[in-house]
Amino acid sequence: MNNYLLNPPKVISDILKASAEVIKEQGMCSFKMATIASRAGCSKKTLYNYFSCKEDIVVSLYIQHINDVSKNVNKIINSDSLSNQEKIIYSMAYDPMKCWAADKDDLCINFLGVNPHIYNLASPEFVGNLQVLFIEVKEQAQSVWKRAISEGELLSSKEDILNCILLLNEVERGAVAMGQNRFLRQFGYDCDLRPTFDALCWILQGLKWQKACPSLSYENMIKTISPMVSKKNQIDMRHYALTMESLKENIEL
């Protein structure tokens, strides 16, 4: 098993690019393989040689998404200008921000990434590719924590650190799910990522650190991640489908 979709052959890249376009036009459930083949400029036989079913297409697009997340998280982790605490928080905020700042042309494929019914039918090589990728993602995340420990910056026990990592991931995954949920956003949750940032920081600061990190801030997070997420000068985290203020209902207590 290997992450062969990281740098795929041109024919596969063309097929997946066409797939994303067709899915946005025809829908996630109704897209047609024949349309993808036509749009990609290949025969249906060639398409089915690489992707035997729709599930293979969906899993491959999800793999592309995770590869993109991993690439940009690497930029954060390898930055010389960020502390270990900043690297942990900002890297976990990348995928949520990508969802919250998504516009109508974004595929938002990561919501299907955990559906078991997709993997029951997807070809083993694509499932294997995803398993390899998640091993890489795990090692990527571990590297920052190991650095903080080896440098004497993080003083907590292994048990406390592992519990913290689990909590951080639960908040991060929840933020991803909320980002493009127009119904949650419509009825009381149409805000920005500041509450998510505050929650991540609160969990992280529950550990024993040698000293606080004064540069860890919401503003610095936005400054670091925004260029990776959007080409716009100012990132917009309002849900694109909720254009009327009257649709946004506050939570009443």
**197-230 pLDDT, tens per residue?**
999 999 999 999 999 999 999 999 999 999 998 7
- Cα–Cα nearest to 127, from 142, 114, 110: 114
For residue 89, give the 3-state DSSP assignment.
Answer: helix
pLDDT exceeds 60 at position 151: yes
Structure tokens at 52: 């035997």
The pTM assigned to this predicted structure is: 0.88
pLDDT in tens, 227-241: 998 777 667 666 666
Per-residue pLDDT band at 245 (split at 50, 70, 90)? low
Domains (ranges, CATH) in the chain?
Answer: 10-239 (1.10.357.10)
> Which phi and psi angles does 9 have, rounded to 5°?
-60, 160
pLDDT in tens, 41-95: 999 999 999 999 999 999 999 999 999 999 999 999 999 999 999 999 999 999 9
The predicted structure's pLDDT at residue 246: 46
d(CA 218, CA 236) in angstroms, rounded, equals 15
Structure tokens at 198: 């505050």
- Which single residue is written with the structure tokens 């917009």? 236
For residue 154, give the 3-state DSSP assignment.
Answer: strand
d(CA 69, CA 177) in angstroms, rounded, equals 16
The predicted structure's pLDDT at residue 56: 95
